[in-house]
Amino acid sequence: MNTIIFANGVVENPELLTSILKSGEFLIAADGGLRHIRKLGLTPDLVIGDLDSVTEDDLKWIFENRIETRKFPKEKDQTDLELALQAAVNRGGDPIIVVGALGGRIDQTLTNIYLLLMPELQSVDVRFDDGHEEVYLVQNYTEVNGKKGDTVSLLPLLSPARGIKTKGLRYPLRDEILFPERSCGVSNEMKSNKAEISLKSGLLLCVHTRKLRGK
C-alpha cells in the first residue's frame, strides 16, 4: 500500500509530481507539508506533527474536511517527518515516497537524509522524490530506472562502501571502494534507461537526478 508523505521542504516543480501522485494510496502531511498538498488541490488522509507551521485557515480546512490529525507538543524529540515516517510504517506503507524532504535549511535536509537509517525503515522501500530528483539507500543491489543522460551520484554513508559494481553508467565501478571523505562517486551518468548497482558491504546513498525535458 503506497504511502506519500509531504514534508515542509522545497518543491520547486510541482508539475513533475503527476506520476508520483498517481501511485499514492495514503497521503500524509507532515505539518507544514500541508501547504504543498493544498496547492495541488489534494486532501491528506492524515496530518501529523506539532502543527506550528499550519495556519488558522489550514486548521479550519482540516476540521471542515474531517481529516485525521495527530498533534504533538512543539518541544519533542522527533521532527515532524520522523513522526510521519513512523506512522507510515505502522500502517504498513511500502513503498513510502517523501516529497519536500530536501532543500531549504541544510540541517533539516541532512537530518531528513539520516532518517533513512531508522531501524524501522530497514526492510521498507523509502525514497525522497520530487519528480526531478530521487534519493534512497542502497544496501545490496538496486536498479535505477530513468533515461540516458540522467545523473547518478553514489555517496557512502557513515563508513566506506566496498565491493561496488555498476552497469549502465558512463564511469563503471568494478569491485571498488567509495569513501565518505572522498568525492569519487559524484556525478556519474546513465548510458541507457537502466543502471544496476551492487555492493558487498556498507551503505550507499543513491541520488538520481532526472534530466529535465529540453535541458
pLDDT tens column, 174-210: 999 999 999 999 999 999 999 999 999 999 999 999 9
Last residue of a domain, one of 101, 131, 161: 131
The CATH number that applies at residue 167 is 2.60.120.320
Q: Which amino acid belongs to residue 129?
A: D
Residue 44: pLDDT over 70: yes
Answer whether residue 25 is part of any domain.
Answer: yes
Handedness of CA 22, 28, 33, 39 (dihedral sign): positive
Over residues 20-31, the mean pLDDT reads 88
Verify that 102 and 162 share a domain, yes or no. no
CATH number reported for the structural domain that contains residue 109 in this entry: 3.40.50.10240
| 51-79 core/surface letters (b: 16 or more CB in 10 A; e: else) | beebeeebeeebeeeebebeeeeeeeeeb
Domain-located, residue 214: no
Q: How confident is the model at residue 94 (pLDDT cuts 50, 70, 90)?
A: confident
| Joined grid coordinates for residue 191 | 548510458
Residues 101 and 46 in one domain: yes
- How many domains in the chain? 2
Domain span including residue 110: 3-131
Residue 158 is assigned to a structural domain of this protein: yes
Which of 131, 148, 177 finishes a domain?
A: 131
Task: Identify which of 144, 145, 157 has the alpha carbon closest to the alpha carbon of residue 201.
Answer: 157
Phi-psi region of 127 (alpha: psi -120 to 50; beta: other; left: phi over 0): beta
Same domain, 167 and 118: no
